[in-house]
Amino acid sequence: MQRGKHLTLRTRREPLTHLMSVFGVTGRTAHYGMSGLGKPQPGETVVVSAAAGATGSIAGQIARLKGARVVGVAGGPTKCKRLVDEFGFDTAIDYKNQNLFRALKEECPNGIDLYFDNVGGSTLEAVLFRMNLNGRIICCGAVSQYDTGSPDPGPRGVPGLLVTKRLTMRGFIFGDDAELMANTEPDLVEWVDNGSIRVAEDIVEGLENAPAGLIGLLAGDNFGKRMVRVS
């Protein structure tokens, strides 16, 4: 019987957890969506939601590498401080303790050129009103709707602001484009090895703690890629 035909042999790298985080689906999704689809340009203003998460933290750093001004949106002052002090974001907005509409106006006085959306809902709505003419929105996820039986209604401004601001909004799934996908891991390996990108991992010890780890992930307790070490 043929075994393992759907598996991919990976090059061993240390720490092994990097194969699940920055070199895994989340890190490669960040590269695929931000660099391959969003294409941030020098001097542009880029906003990333769930910026302290596994995908958002990498996506924001990639935008910074491309010369953009990067604004992260995260929950809590500790996460926001780490994004700026450790991960090179230009500034960060605490959506739990700040009025998001007002904060975006203050932190993005020249508007937003590119938005990397991981959450949807009210955050997407607030960003829509600050987008510049011909701005781009890359939809990666909708975490605000994952753990609720009554998700918020769709954001105001759709399709009105899409039309008047001539916005492009694109959703994607990692792997849609084989050519773009092929470029992700070599770039990420280079950036991690030369220190251009920092990796955030949040490891829960013990399989018995996996349920609590998942609940905490959906509640936004993690910083970076949450994983469970079972051995």
In order of their start, the domains of the chain are 16-145+154-197 (3.40.50.720)
Please tell me the predicted confidence (pLDDT) of residue 1: 55
DSSP state of 154: P
d(C-alpha 98, C-alpha 225), whole Å:
25
**pLDDT tens track, the chain, 231 positions:** 566 677 777 888 888 889 889 999 999 999 999 999 999 999 999 999 999 999 999 999 999 999 999 999 999 999 999 999 999 999 999 999 999 999 999 999 999 999 999 999 889 999 999 999 999 999 998 776 666 667 666 788 889 999 999 999 999 988 888 888 888 989 999 999 999 999 999 899 999 999 998 888 878 888 989 989 997
225: β partners: 201
Neighbours of 114 (CB within 10 A): 26
CA–CA distances in Å: residue 136 to residues 4, 173, 181, 183: 40, 17, 20, 22
Give CA–CA dist 124/157, Å, rounded: 10
- Of 20, 62, 16, nearest in space to 37 by CA: 62
Query: Structure pTM?
Result: 0.90
User: 3-class DSSP state for residue 55?
Assistant: helix
Helix or strand holding residue 190 (H, E): helix 184-193
Beta strands 201-205 and 45-49 are unpaired
Interhelix angle 184-193/54-65, nearest 10 degrees: 80
